[in-house]
């Protein structure tokens, strides 16, 4: 049986201030291939190049990656400000309808960091432009200096709902995660259920109520050290199992059946 094709949402970059590219971090590709057991397929997230229908026909599951650019606030009914940072509206134009279509069809989807925020916005939710500016909240941004090991180090606990989806999937109510984001969920979207929180109350894990297939997202970056991390590995393994079942023509598979 062939490996399931895992579509991995790319981000736009400019190399040497002059050469535009679409790219995906190697750690996302390795997590998709080595842990989820799929064939990673880099997606140029731009509606001028691809369509949602084409992507869903080609791919068996999708990973919505992190990225420097944020979801444009007009997607959730707010005007842009300096606090919202940079945007990638071409990516928004692909990922937001892709999320809704995958959830409806039951096609597996896993959101990471920006992908976590995209899933919330796609279902009508809103975002805080800067978590660290909220009273009582911590700074969740990537440390500006240090090695990758230091920047992606485990920095805080995430506590899951007792008996909830993540508790059952990962086998623990409290786990340690990294944290490398500026924005975060404000109002959860329709059917978005927050299933895990950081100590300061920031939403860290969500699932989609009554979704026919695998539809989970986390605010941290589980792709880092995914093969060896006890939290990341079962998350990617369950996603990969759902994608294999989809590739085999078995249709939507619930989150816990994939674990």
Catalytic residue at 221?
yes
Q: Would you say 111 and 216 are in contact if contact means Cβ atoms under 8 Å apart?
A: yes
**Of the residues 59, 113, 167, 181, which is catalytic?**
113
- Main-chain dihedrals φ then ψ at residue 111, nearest 5 degrees: -100, 135
Catalytic residue at 102?
no
Catalytic residue at 78?
no
37 φψ region: left (φ > 0), alpha (ψ -120 to 50), beta (else): left
**Of the residues 118, 130, 204, 223, which is catalytic?**
223
Q: Classify each residue of 94-118 as buried b or exposed e, where b means 16 or more C-beta atoms within 10 Å of its C-beta.
A: bbbebbebbbeebbbbbbbbbbbbb
- Nearest-10 Cα torsion for 211, 213, 217, 222: 160
Q: Which residues are designated catalytic?
A: 113, 221, 223
């Amino acid at each position: 049986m062939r490996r399931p094709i895992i579509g991995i949402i790319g981000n736009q970059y400019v190399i040497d201030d002059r050469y535009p590219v679409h790219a995906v971090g190697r750690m996302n590709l390795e997590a998709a291939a080595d842990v989820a057991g799929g064939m990673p397929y880099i997606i140029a997230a731009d509606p001028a190049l691809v369509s949602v229908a084409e992507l869903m026909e080609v791919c068996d599951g999708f990973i919505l990656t992190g990225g420097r650019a944020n979801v444009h606030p007009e997607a959730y009914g707010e005007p842009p400000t300096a606090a919202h940072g940079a945007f990638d509206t071409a990516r928004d134009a692909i990922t937001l309808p892709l999320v809704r279509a995958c959830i409806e069809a039951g096609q597996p989807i896993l959101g990471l960091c920006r992908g976590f925020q995209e899933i919330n916005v796609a279902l009508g939710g809103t975002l805080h432009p800067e978590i660290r500016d909220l009273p009582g909240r911590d700074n969740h941004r990537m440390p500006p200096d240090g090695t990758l090991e230091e920047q992606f180090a485990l920095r805080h606990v995430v506590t899951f709902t007792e008996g909830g989806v993540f508790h059952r999937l990962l086998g623990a109510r409290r786990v340690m995660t990294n944290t490398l984001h500026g924005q975060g969920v404000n109002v959860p979207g329709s059917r978005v259920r927050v299933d895990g929180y950081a100590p300061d109350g920031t939403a860290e894990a969500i699932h989609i109520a009554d979704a026919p297939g695998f539809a989970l997202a986390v605010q941290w970056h589980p792709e880092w050290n995914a093969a060896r991390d006890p939290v990341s590995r079962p998350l990617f393994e369950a996603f990969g199992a759902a994608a294999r079942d989809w590739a085999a023509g078995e249709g939507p598979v619930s989150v816990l059946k994939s674990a």
